[in-house]
Amino acid sequence: MGRVFDVAVIGAGVAGLAGALAASRTARTVLVTEKLPSADEVRRIDAIPARTLALLSEFGVRPHAIGVDGLHSERVVSWEHATPSRQLAPPTAHVERPRLELALFEALLRRRDVDIVLSRVTPRWDGVFAGDGWRAVRLIDATGRAAVSAETVVRATPSWGSRFFLTDRATIPASPALRIAALQDGY
């Protein structure tokens, strides 16, 4: 049967690692399995909201550990015109994703109640989720679009956004360059 965990987290990206840290606050035992952070990944810059930085601090991931040296509350956008415009936005910090994943991973390594298993899993449901040599009462599926725990995957229909632009409840063909603007209350 193998070891039984209160929570298993499948997927060790940012969402999975943060989910494991959150679960370790209340669960006695947590398992993290599958993808681990990789320094070889293409460097991506993520905009992390200030509220998320506060939550990361509660988990033991300090802003300086992920390269945060300040917050940005303005963004520069250029949608329809050659001249960019400046817009106020909620305060965010720019963080390299591999650095964030590594900091979350290191925070997990400091937790005694979290195990990390380097293997891919195919969870199955029979009252508990199970993988090779382990079982879990609850599962956090942080595999993104892979959705490895899903029994049925419904593929989305193609987006109308690439073909139509909505205005006053009527649809018109989109221009060659789709015109959309990011406003304070949505797009």
CATH number of 3-155: 3.50.50.60
Q: What letter does residue 150 receive in the DSSP assignment? A: -
CB 92 within 8 A of CB 70: no
Q: Which of 43-52, 79-88, 130-139 has the highest mean pLDDT?
A: 43-52
Q: Where are the domains of the chain?
A: 3-155
Rounded CA-CA distance 33/14 in Å is: 13
138 closest CA partner among 51, 8, 4, 2 = 8
- Full-model pTM: 0.67
CB 179 within 8 A of CB 77: no
pLDDT at res. 107: 94
Mean pLDDT, to the nearest integer, of 109-117? 88
pLDDT at res. 61: 93
Residues linked to residue 183 through DSSP beta bridges, in sequence order: 186
Residue 23: pLDDT band (50, 70, 90) is: very high
Average pLDDT of the residues of the chain: 76
35 versus 18: the higher-pLDDT residue is 18
Q: What letter does residue 85 receive in the DSSP assignment? A: E
pLDDT at res. 19: 93
